[in-house]
Amino acid sequence: MALRIGSTLQEAGYRLFSRTGAILLAAFFALMIGFQALINTIVAISFTRLGFGEATAALPLTLDIPLSVAGAGVAVGSVVSLYLTIVSFRTFVAGARDSFPDGAFTRNVPLAMVNVLVGGIVYGLLVFIGSLLLLIPGIFAYVVFIFMMPYIIVEDRNFVAALKESYRLTEGDRVALFVLLFIVIAAAALVGGIVGLIGALALPQPAAQLPTVVIQPLVSLYSTAVIAVAFEQLSETDGIPPSAPSEDGKPTTAL
Q: Hey, where are the domains in the chain?
A: 5-238
pLDDT at 64: 87
* Among 79, 78, 102, 81, CA closest to 90: 102
- Residue 221: pLDDT over 60: yes
- What is the arithmetic mean of pLDDT over 227-231? 97
- What is the arithmetic mean of pLDDT over 128-145? 91
In terms of pLDDT, which residue wins out, 191 or 249? Answer: 191
User: What CA–CA distance (Å, rounded) separates 8 from 45?
Assistant: 44
The SS3 call for residue 134 is coil
- What is the arithmetic mean of pLDDT over 141-150? 96
pLDDT at 247: 39
pLDDT at 213: 76
- Residue 241: pLDDT over 90: no
pLDDT digits (tens, 9 = 90+) for 74-116: 999 999 999 999 999 999 999 999 999 999 999 999 999 999 9
Average pLDDT, the chain: 87
What are the b/e assignments for 180-217, b being 16+ CB within 10 Å? bbeebeeebeeeeeebeeebeeeeeeeebbbbbbebbb
In terms of pLDDT, which residue wins out, 8 or 197? Answer: 8
Q: 246: pLDDT confidence band, cut at 50, 70 and 90?
A: very low
Q: 125: pLDDT confidence band, cut at 50, 70 and 90?
A: very high
- Residue 250: pLDDT over 60: no
What is the dihedral angle through the alpha carbons of 176, 177, 178, 181, rounded to the nearest 10 degrees? 130
Q: 238: pLDDT confidence band, cut at 50, 70 and 90?
A: low
Calculate what percentage of the chain has a pLDDT beyond 90.
Answer: 65
- What is the arithmetic mean of pLDDT over 8-29? 96
User: What CA–CA distance (Å, rounded) separates 218 from 71?
Assistant: 25
Kindly report the pTM of this predicted structure. 0.86
Give 99's contacts (C-beta < 8 A, 6+ positions apart).
19, 20
Q: Is 100 exposed, middle or buried (0-12, 13-18, 19+ CB in 10 A)?
A: middle
- What is the arithmetic mean of pLDDT over 19-32? 95
pLDDT at 207: 64
- What is the arithmetic mean of pLDDT over 35-53? 85
